Amino acid sequence: MNLIVVGCGRVGAELSYRLFKSGHQVVIVDSSRESFNRLHSDFRGRTLEGEGLAENVLERAGIKEADGLAAVTNSDTLNAVVAHTARIYYHTPIVVARNYDPNLRPVIESFGLQTVSSTFWGAQRVEELLTHPSQRMVYSPGNGEVEVYEVGIPEAWNGRSLGELMEPLKQCHAVAVTQAGRSSLPEKTLILQTGDSISISSTFDGISALTSRLAGKAEA
């Protein structure tokens, strides 16, 4: 893929290197030449000094032929405008904008842009690790509004059904159950065993409720 990264801060430098190592053609744009010092020494993509919002800079970066663009500068406003320009005026197929200020996230999303909110996602992930260390997040689409977790079945729920466990929970859904190393699609009638692993698609509130339910005593 031909990809453009606007912003060579820590995130932009790491993203560009990862894309390059994956075999993509990468052009990274930044207004400061010194910022390119953050790139790994074996990065062999193109670097382009200039303002990411400037039409001539974007076109020199190959925006007309680009398969995707990521705007990851430290300015939410600049990221939104660059991403919007790429999507609306150049019809770039895949556009992603980085978001720092959670209060500005709805504004950026109102443009129909894919956003990655490092502040929101990071704060939520730290909260999960601090308050629910037993649960393991395995996949996070979007910005963490819904995530996929793996949870283990404790002794208290041995012999009870999956439906009984999940029935009262409105914000989480079982997507797979692993028993004795074999995974299957979940059925409400499935009898749980100690040590089973359940993959759960859930909001943060939902997984918190499930964790509390698993930790409590099973109802008689």
The pLDDT tens digits for 2-24 are 999 999 999 999 999 999 999 99
Which H/E stretch holds residue 25? Answer: strand 25-30
Higher-scoring residue by pLDDT: 182, 50: 50
Type of residue found at 121: W
Instruction: Report percent pLDDT > 70 for the chain.
Output: 90
Adjacency order of strands within the sheet including 172-179: 136-139, 147-152, 197-202, 172-179, 182-184
| Residue found under tokens 């502040």 | 119
Do residues 28 and 46 lie in contact, with contact meaning Cβ atoms separated by under 8 Å?
A: yes
The beta-strand segments (E) located in 53-194 are 68-71, 94-99, 114-117, 136-139, 147-152, 172-179, 182-184
Q: pTM for the whole thing? A: 0.65
- Look at residue 137 and tell me whether its pLDDT is greater than 80: no
For 64, phi then psi, to 5°, come to: -70, -25
The pLDDT tens digits for 82-127 are 999 999 999 999 999 988 887 777 777 777 778 887 777 777 667 7
Domain with CATH 3.40.50.720 in the chain: 2-121
Q: Which is the CATH superfamily of the domain at 134-215?
A: Regulator of K+ conductance, C-terminal domain (3.30.70.1450)
| Residue found under tokens 């308050």 | 131
Q: Does domain 2-121 have CATH number 3.90.1150.10?
A: no
Domain with CATH 3.30.70.1450 in the chain: 134-215
